[in-house]
Amino acid sequence: MGNNGEINMSVSGICRGKDGKQKAYVNFSDEVRSAEGEIPACKITSNKGFAAIEVEQLEKYMSEHLEELKQMSANVNVVNAFLDK
């Protein structure tokens, strides 16, 4: 299976971590790889297949687009997302 160069991204709704702080998850994937990061920390916490330099680029992307990602997360309707609407 080849990689066409396109990476899909999805953002979760806002949730609370074990530390009580608000965060959201950002998922990146293509046909063969996936990674999950957390905002506002802008850190990749799970990686399957992305090279180290790509992980750095994903973290940089989250950092540079943090406000947009926060807004996307705030607009997630959890019920509709759960029902796949």
Is residue 60 situated within a structural domain?
A: yes
Is residue 84 situated within a structural domain?
A: no
Is residue 62 situated within a structural domain?
A: yes
What is the rounded distance in angstroms from the CA atom of residue 83 to the CA atom of residue 4? 29
What is the rounded distance in angstroms from the CA atom of residue 34 to the CA atom of residue 28? 6
Is residue 72 situated within a structural domain?
A: yes
Is residue 81 situated within a structural domain?
A: no
pLDDT in tens, 7-59: 999 999 999 888 889 999 999 999 999 999 999 999 999 999 999 999 999 99
For 40, phi then psi, to 5°, come to: -85, 5
Domain that includes residue 37, residue range: 8-76
Q: Which pTM value belongs to this model?
A: 0.84
Is residue 53 situated within a structural domain?
A: yes
Is residue 2 situated within a structural domain?
A: no
How many structural domains comprise the chain? 1
Is residue 42 situated within a structural domain?
A: yes
